[in-house]
Amino acid sequence: MSSNGADVSVKEERKTSENEKSSSTAKMSGPMQTVASETAARSSDAVDVLAREAENLRKKLEIERQKLNDVSIEQAAEKLEPLTQLNIKQRRILKGHAGKVLCMDWCLDKRHIVSSSQDGKVIVWDGFTTNKEHALTMPTTWVMACAYSPSAQMIACGGLDNKCSVVPLSFDDDILQKKRSVATHTSYMSCCTFLKSDNLLLTGSGDSTCAIWDVESGQMIQNFHGHVGDVFAIDVPKSDTGNIFISGGADKHALVWDIRTGQCVQYFEGHEADINTLRFHPNGDAFATGSDDASCRLFDLRADRQVCIYEKESVLFPVNGVDFSLSGRILFAGYSDYRVGVWDSLKCVRHTVLYGHENRISCLRTSPDGTAICSASWDCTIRVGSRKYGHELHSTNHSTDFFILHP
């Protein structure tokens, strides 16, 4: 056989082999594609079924909630006497920050205040004398959160460095040398508070999680996943016996968490924009929220539903801080229009408006004994106000400079 004939024979064999392979591949790919298509179809059907089940469960849950909705909060409060004139006056202006004040917290001694700001400063104030007792420069700007420990022996603070640090308070030369980093998130640290004691720290973050940390070891004890957006606010009930906390954030939802299990046990919706702030009612059975949608809302844990909306058509600015009076009858709300709205929490009407700040209010808290209200603002100041109760007392005892805010 000639070489040319051999070459032609080899080429024909290769061509035949390639045709057989392609035919075999086509035969195999056909069933595989069919299986993949069927799997995708089944997955899509399963998702649709789960979505329908979730919607049915949502409707059933709403029906059960309505069974508990036998009377509205306004109807229940019809026979209550309206609030009298509060006459809340500005008593102190704390000046010292060179940037926007982002957060503040009261000490349980009802006298000291800690504040943090955009300029990276954390200041501990004597609220009676307006003196600065400590001024700390943190390694980051935008210190977005600060909190006093229950013992008043330390503070916690953090922000854009993704960390929450604890600083023991003493009058040593440099207390910053004693600063310890306790918590570390994967995004900015937006809020923090001590949990029942100086040993546990609760934090919320832009990484959509909350976490409990051991202050001594810096170890994470429990992590809480459930939000689908940045966490902006957390709060714990004032009772030491509670095992829950609440959180809210950019996903417009407020979640109630079981500290022991790390699970979300209640879920509240209703806001149309970010939840910037929230606060437990003094009785621990309800909480208020403030949002970018310019409204505050009251949610009842027992009824498992929203029971009141605090809003006015003329108010268009976000709510950045909320807190209750000692009895819970009054709800204070700090807005981006520089004002504090004073709401009757039971009759769901605005009682009065407080003025004084020259920029948006970023944080608002009533004192632990209900004698004063403190607001922090982007105007670089912290302002303390209180109600004139009976007659004004003139005394060298500074504790009489604040007056009762009840009811």
CATH code for the domain of 290: 2.130.10.10
Token pair listed for 83: 């609030």
- Determine the residue type at 222: Q
Q: Please provide the DSSP assignment of 94-129 as one string.
A: EE--SS-EEEEEE-TTSSEEEEEETTSEEEEEETTT
Which of helix, strand or coil describes residue 302? coil
Is 226 within a domain? yes
Which of helix, strand or coil describes residue 269? coil
Asked if residues 387 and 86 have their Cβ atoms less than 8 Å apart, the reply is: yes
Helix H or strand E segment including 61:
helix 3-68
- Report the pLDDT averaged over residues 242-258: 97
Selected residue with higher pLDDT from 175 and 152: 152
Nearest to 300 by CA among 281, 285, 283: 285
Structural domain boundaries, residue 183: 97-387
pLDDT-wise least confident of 64-68, 106-110, 213-217: 64-68
The answer to whether the bond into 407 is cis (omega within 30° of 0) is yes
Is 22 within a domain? no
- Mean pLDDT for the chain? 87
- Angle 143-105-200 from CA coordinates, rounded to 5°: 85
Give counts: helices (H), strands (E), the chain: 2, 28
Nearest to 334 by CA among 361, 367, 297: 361
Is 335 within a domain? yes
Q: Please say if the pLDDT value at position 16 is more than 60.
A: no
Asked if residues 201 and 166 have their Cβ atoms less than 8 Å apart, the reply is: yes
- Report the pLDDT averaged over residues 207-211: 98
pLDDT of residue 395: 31
Per the structure, how many domains does the chain have? Answer: 1
- Determine the residue type at 268: F
| Bridge partners (DSSP) listed for residue 88 | 387
Q: Please say if the pLDDT value at position 71 is more than 80.
A: no
pTM of the model: 0.82
Is 158 within a domain? yes
- Rounded Cα–Cα distance for residues 332 and 291 (Å): 14
The residues near 139 (Cβ < 8 Å, ≥ 6 apart) are 120, 161
Q: pLDDT, tens digit, for every residue of 269-305? A: 999 999 999 999 999 999 999 999 999 999 999 999 9
Selected residue with higher pLDDT from 70 and 219: 219
- Provide the edge-to-edge strand list for the sheet that holds 154-158: 145-148, 154-158, 163-168, 180-184
| Bridge partners (DSSP) listed for residue 264 | 257
The distance of Cα 74 from the centroid of its chain, to the nearest Å, equals 27
Token pair listed for 17: 């082999």
pLDDT of residue 44: 77
pLDDT-wise least confident of 17-26, 48-57, 254-263, 310-319: 17-26
Is 146 within a domain? yes
Selected residue with higher pLDDT from 61 and 370: 370
Asked if residues 362 and 381 have their Cβ atoms less than 8 Å apart, the reply is: no
Q: Please say if the pLDDT value at position 400 is more than 50.
A: no
Is 272 within a domain? yes
